[in-house]
Amino acid sequence: YNKPVRVLKEDLRGQVHDQLVQQKMQEQISGKVAVTPREVKEYFDKVPKDSIPYFSTEVEVGQIVIPAQVNDAAKQAAIVQLNDIRGRVLAGESFETLAKQYSQDPGSGAQGGYLGYFKKGELVPEYEAASRKLEPGQMSPVVESQFGFHLIQFIERKGDSYSTRHILLKPATGTADASVAATKLTRIRTQILKDSISFAKAAKDFSTDKLTAANGGLLANRQDGGTRMPLDKLDPAMFFIIDTMKVGHITPPMPYRTDDGKEAMRILYLKSNTPPHQANLLEDYQKISQAALSQKKSKALDDWYEKNRDTVYLEVSPEYAQCKVLMASTE
C-alpha cells in the first residue's frame, strides 16, 4: 500500500469497526442456531444426486511438538548484543535504524520496530510490564519473553492504549539443543508403540503446541473445524511424509519450525486415511452438518431482515449509488 503502518491502521479503522459491528449483529441473530441430526439428514437428502460433492483423499494427522532448548551461551550472546545496541542508541544512534538492521521480528523490523497501539493484556506479560514502567522516549533494559529477548522503546500513551517499538533477538539453537528434544520424543514414541500411553494422551501431556495438544495432537481443518483434511492441501513438507505412511504409523523425531519461528522437533502420526469418495452421511457427517448449519443461519438472517426491513435505516455510500441490488433493497 506504500503507507506507514500507523497511517494504514487509521485508514482501516472505520472498515474494521463496521465489520466487527456486523459480525456481532449476525452473532446475535444466528449465534444460537443449531441443527439436529434429523435436520442434517433432511438437508443431505434434498441435495440432487448429481450435485453431491466428490471428496479427494483425506487424512487425520497428529503431531507432538517439543521445542529445542536454547543453551545459556546463546542466551547470553543475545543479551550482550542487545545491551550493545542499547548503548549505541544512548550514544545518539537511531533506534528505528538499528531495529531495521538487527531486529528478528519479521512483522515490525522493517517498520523500525514499531508495533502500534495496544491495551492492557494484549501483549505478553513480560513485554507489557516493562513497557508500562517507561515514559515516552525511554528504553527498557533487556526483557526476556517467550519470543526471545527485547529492547523496548516507549513512544506514547493515548487513553488506555500505548505504543512502543522494539528490537527482538531470538537466540540460535544448535544441534545439541535439538537433540535433547529428539531424545525425549523418542522415549514418548516408544511408550506409544508399546501401548503404555495413547498418542492423544501423550500429545496432551507433552506437546507444546497448544492448539493441537488440546485436540489429542490432531491438526484441525480450518474450513469445517473437523480433523480430516484433504491430503493435497497439506503443507508440502508434511505431504511427502504422510503420503508414504501407513495408518497407525508414527515417524521418528524430525526437525520442525513452529509458527512463531522457533526451532523444534516433532513426531507425526497418521490416524486415518480416507480414499476418494462421494459424500455420504457416514464418512462426512461433520462437513454435511456444517453445510446444513450454514444454510439454516443464512435463513435466520434473511428472516430477520424481512421482518425488520421496514424499521431498518440503510445508508448507501455514494460510490455504490449505481448498484441496482443495493438501491432495490432501499425501495
The answer on pLDDT for 94 being more than 90 is: yes
Q: Out of 46-50, 123-127, 190-194, 258-262, which region has the weakest mean confidence (pLDDT)? A: 258-262
pLDDT per residue over 4-51, tens digit each? 666 666 777 778 877 888 888 888 888 888 999 999 999 999 999 999
Please answer whether residues 33 and 296 qualify as being in contact, where contact means their C-beta atoms are separated by less than 8 angstroms.
yes
Name the band, by pLDDT with cuts 50, 70 and 90, for residue 147: confident
Q: How far is CA 158 from CA 10, 118, 147, 161, in A?
A: 14, 10, 26, 5
Cα 90 to Cα 131: distance, rounded to the nearest angstrom: 18
Please compute the mean of the pLDDT values over residues 115-139 and round it to a whole number. 92
What's this model's pTM, rounded to 2 decimal places?
Answer: 0.63
| Short-list 23, 178, 167, CA closest to 107 | 167
Name the band, by pLDDT with cuts 50, 70 and 90, for residue 52: very high
3-state secondary structure of 155: strand
- CB crowding 17-52: b at 16 or more within 10 Å, else e: eeeeeeeeeeeebbeeeebeeeebeebbeeeeeeee
Residue 144's H or E segment, with its range, is strand 143-145
C-alpha cell at 77: 550472546
C-alpha cell at 172: 540460535
**What local confidence, expressed as pLDDT, does residue 304 receive?**
87
Please answer whether residues 266 and 203 qualify as being in contact, where contact means their C-beta atoms are separated by less than 8 angstroms.
no
Q: What percent of the chain has pLDDT over 90?
A: 56
Q: What percent of the chain has pLDDT over 70?
A: 92
Q: To the nearest whole number, what is the mean pLDDT of the chain?
A: 88
More confident residue, 313 or 204: 204
